[in-house]
Amino acid sequence: MAQPDMHGKVCLITGSNAGIGKATALGLAQMGATIVMVSRDKTRGEAARAEVIARSGNERVDLLLADLSAQSSIRQLTQEVIERYPQLHVLINNAGIAQSKRTVTVDGIETIFAVNYLAPFLLTNLLLDRLKASAPARIINVASMANRPLDFDDLQHEKRFSNMQAYSRSKFAVFLFTHELARRLEGTGVTVNCLHPGVVATNLLRGFSWLAPLAFPFITSPQKGAETSIYLASSPEVGGVSGKYFIKCKEAYFPEGTDDRASAQRLWEMSEQLTGTLNRT
């Protein structure tokens, strides 16, 4: 089957200096897309950008630096994207972290929740006008089969912290966000979907050192893990599909509770307060 032609399409991918993000950038670059790679680390980001260009033969690969744990950095990233790119057709919220101890960001927010969920929420909302103006456009959120219902009275794990619980709840939030955003984007020409990439051999597993031996039989490569992100970003088959969940390039059932509208709306309102993005959609 022939690859989709992505020439003329601008795709922004967070967390693209390694793992699934870099593999996604390479796959879309090979289809001819203009790639905007986002990395926190300049040295690693430049090395990844050079690799994507060399392996794809596509020179239209840019690198922007941002610390997604800091809302001021996300706002600066957004401004750079808007200034450099008159159009944005694909936004892939790929970046994610896991860590063993509870820390808080410069904004005073628990770090896993801030990076895995609030960063996509803020970045997406700040880029929505550009995405709508570029429609048809697509938003892809990397979620996880590892998810656990939110405790709205302890979103930032101040009462009790475990890294698996914090990670799983942040991904549950991504599901709720995808549902509510899809509802708000109806009729705009912008779609949003989420996916589980599989258990992938990336740096993320270092945050779950106790889990890695158990997960070993199920681990797949970053290239395989990126396939569904690439599919959702490029395939004509899902051009009009929105508010869905995919595994291995196939639509899947949402995990229990992740499609609850009342919870999604409640989380959205709390997220607006935490990021200062009231009434943007």
pLDDT score at 200: 57
Beta bridge partners of 91: 12, 139
Q: Class of the 10-275 domain?
A: alpha beta
Where along the chain do its domains lie? Answer: 10-275
Helices (H), the chain: 19-30, 42-56, 71-84, 111-113, 119-133, 163-184, 212-215, 222-234, 261-275
How far apart, in whole angstroms, are the C-alpha atoms of residue 113 and residue 132? 27
> Which residues are catalytically annotated?
167
Low-confidence residues in the chain, pLDDT < 70: 1, 200-219, 278-281
pLDDT score at 210: 41
pLDDT score at 140: 98
pLDDT score at 215: 46
pLDDT score at 205: 47
Place of tokens 């970003």: 233
pLDDT score at 220: 76
Instruction: Please tell me the total number of residues recorded for the chain in this structure.
Output: 281
User: Parallel, antiparallel, or unpaired: how do β-strands 10-14 and 90-93 relate?
Assistant: parallel
